[in-house]
């Protein structure tokens, strides 16, 4: 099947025999149809605190999200990332198809962040963020930006983007002269952080799951 070009991993056709993939974290498909998970699919919301890396292990010995999720019996992985100094909503699951769609730019799932920056967020800076910022990888897509609170020395913004470039929100704000002091992700599409305490997690409700699947036009564990 590999020689016939029928196997793909994360949307790319496999051409080399012996290629390795992890069914728990990779989207493996035959003739475009994803393999179904052999274990029960689970979905958790986690409020990642600062000072924790969004990986399951860390060579530097820093705390990881695995330290916060040991009570989950199934093997899960984070959908997207938050950097070491950022906090907020992470979705943990073993549903590779949902994870793929939530992170792929094609599906335009917006992530919302509350961002505290140094300096006054004037209209010129806001317009630059809304129009897109030129980075090494290219220009960012236009962001939705709302001022929550501002003063001469500090500003609170809500920034909504559908991309996932490395440290994107921090780099965008740096580019307009508003360095980030604090960054918290408060929503992934229709899924909200709410009042979940830092370091705590909870299973998603049926209503939340239905809204997530609707947002990316899929069903649990399988593409439409």
CA 79 – CA 95 distance, rounded (Å): 10
List C-alpha distances in Å: 118 to 125, 151, 170.
13, 10, 12
| Residue 205 bridge partners (DSSP) | none
Alpha-carbon gap, residue 46 to 196, rounded angstroms: 8
- Contact between 163 and 129 under an 8 Å Cβ cutoff? The reply is no
* Active-site position among 83, 95, 122, 174: 83
What is the three-state SS of 34-92?
Answer: ECCCCCCCCEEEEEECCCCECCCCCCCCCCEHHHHCCCCCCCCEEECCCCCCCEEEEEE
Tokens 């290219």 correspond to 138
Please confirm, yes or no, whether 83 is among the known catalytic residues.
yes
d(CA 169, CA 221): 30
Instruction: Catalogue the active-site residues.
Output: 83
């Amino acid at each position: 099947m590999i020689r016939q070009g029928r196997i793909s991993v994360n949307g790319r056709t496999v051409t080399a025999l012996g290629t390795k993939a992890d069914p728990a974290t990779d989207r493996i498909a035959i003739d475009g149809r994803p393999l179904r998970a052999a274990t029960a699919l689970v979905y958790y919301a986690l409020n990642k605190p600062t000072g924790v890396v969004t990986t399951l292990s860390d060579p530097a010995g820093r705390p990881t999200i695995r330290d916060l999720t040991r009570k989950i019996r199934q093997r899960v992985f984070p959908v997207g990332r938050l950097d070491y100094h950022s906090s907020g909503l992470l979705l943990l699951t073993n549903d590779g198809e949902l994870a793929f769609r939530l992170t792929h730019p094609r599906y335009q799932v917006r992530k919302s962040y509350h961002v505290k920056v140094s300096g006054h967020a004037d209209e010129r800076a806001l317009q630059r963020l809304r129009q897109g910022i030129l980075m090494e990888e290219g220009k960012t897509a236009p962001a939705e930006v709302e001022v929550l609170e501002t003063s001469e020395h500090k500003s609170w913004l809500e920034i909504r983007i559908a991309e996932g470039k490395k440290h994107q929100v921090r780099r965008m704000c740096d580019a307009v002269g508003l360095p980030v002091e604090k960054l918290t992700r408060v929503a992934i599409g229709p899924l909200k952080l709410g009042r979940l305490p830092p370091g705590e997690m909870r299973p998603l409700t049926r209503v939340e799951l239905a809204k997530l699947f609707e947002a990316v036009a899929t069903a649990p564990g399988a593409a439409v």
